[in-house]
Amino acid sequence: MDATRYPNLHISRHPLVDHKLSLLRDRTTEPKRFRELVRELSWLLGYEAMADLTTQPITIETPLEQMAGAELEPKVGLVPVLRAGLGMVDAMLELMPSAEVWHIGLYRDERSLKPVEYYNKLPDAATVQVCLILDPMLATGGSSAATVDILKAWGAARIKQVSLIAAPEGIATLSTAHPDVDIHVAAVDRALNERGYIVPGLGDAGDRQFGTFAGPSSEPGHDPADETAEVVRRLQRNLAGES
C-alpha cells in the first residue's frame, strides 16, 4: 500500500512496537501473554497518538520556587469498541488518568461484514473534545467508520483511531469516509482474506484476548461465505481505484 496517499495515517516506527507486535502475532502466544502485549502496545501507540495534544500554561510551585508549567488542554474521551478494544483501555488510562471512557458495542456481521451496534450509552451532548477510538483491528474499516459516525453525531470535535493492525482496505474506507480522522497503527498488513480477516494479521483479536475459541463461526480459515468474499472483492476494487 502506498502510505503517502494517506496523510492522516501514522505507522509506528518504534522498535519496541515491532518486537512486541511479532510476539502478539505468534499463534503460540497464550491469552494471558496476549493481553499483556495488547496493553504494552497500547501504551506505546497511545504515547505517539497523543503527541499533538495541546497544553495550556499553568503556574506551579516547586518546593523551591514558582514556575510556568503546563496542563493538557482538551478533555479526552477513550472509546473502546467492544469487545476487543477493552484490552487497550487500562494502558491509555495510565497515560491519561483523567480521561473519560465511553464504550461502544459493535460486532461485525459474519456474512455482510457490516457493523451491528449493540451498546451505546453516550449522553446527549459531547462531554469531551478529543476522542480516541480503541480497537486492535481495522479490517474492512466498517466498525471504525460507524464509530466515527456515532462520535461526530455526538459532537466530538476531534477523533483519532488507535489500532494495532490495519488492512489497506480498512484504511481506504475510513480515510475516504472521514479524512479528518488520524489513524495510528503499529502495522499495515498485506490485505484482507476472503473471510474479511487481516493477513498475515493475528487472527481474531477478541477471541485471542478472552480465550473464546468456541466454534468455526468465529475462526478464520473455514469455508468462505460467497457474500463475504464479494464484500472483500468490492473493497479491494475500491482500494485499487476501480470504484
Partner whose binding site includes residue 143, from ligand PRP, ligand URA, none (CB under 5 to 8 Å by kind): ligand PRP
Taking a C-beta distance cutoff of 8 angstroms, is the pair 200, 190 a contact? yes
Indicate whether 204 belongs to the interface with ligand URA (CB under 6 A): yes
Stretch in the footprint of ligand URA (CB under 6 A) among 14-22, 74-82, 199-207, 228-236: 199-207
Partner whose binding site includes residue 126, from ligand URA, ligand PRP, none (CB under 5 to 8 Å by kind): none
Partner whose binding site includes residue 95, from ligand PRP, ligand URA, none (CB under 5 to 8 Å by kind): none
Q: No. of H helices and E strands in the chain?
A: 7, 13
| Nearest distance in Å: CB 96, ligand PRP | 22
Residues contributing to the site for ligand PRP (CB under 6 A): 81-84, 106-108, 113, 115, 135-144, 170, 196, 204-206
| Nearest distance in Å: CB 20, ligand URA | 17
Nearer to ligand PRP, 81 or 151 (CB): 81
Which conformational region is residue 155 in: left (phi greater than 0), alpha (psi within -120 to 50 degrees), or beta?
left
- Cell (9 digits) for 131: 476522542
- Cell (9 digits) for 189: 498488513
Taking a C-beta distance cutoff of 8 angstroms, is the pair 175, 9 a contact? yes
Which residues make beta-bridge pairs with 187?
Answer: 165
End-to-end CA, the chain:
17
- Cell (9 digits) for 169: 482496505
- Cell (9 digits) for 227: 457474500
Indicate whether 132 belongs to the interface with ligand URA (CB under 6 A): no
Indicate whether 197 belongs to the interface with ligand URA (CB under 6 A): yes
Nearer to ligand PRP, 144 or 175 (CB): 144
Cis preceding linkage at 234, omega within 30: no
- Cell (9 digits) for 59: 503556574
Residue nearest to ligand PRP (CB): 206
- Binding to ligand URA in span 29-68, by CB under 6 A: none
Which residues make beta-bridge pairs with 117?
Answer: 106
Nearer to ligand URA, 154 or 197 (CB): 197
Which residues bind to ligand URA, rule: CB under 6 A?
A: 84, 137, 139, 197-198, 201, 204-206
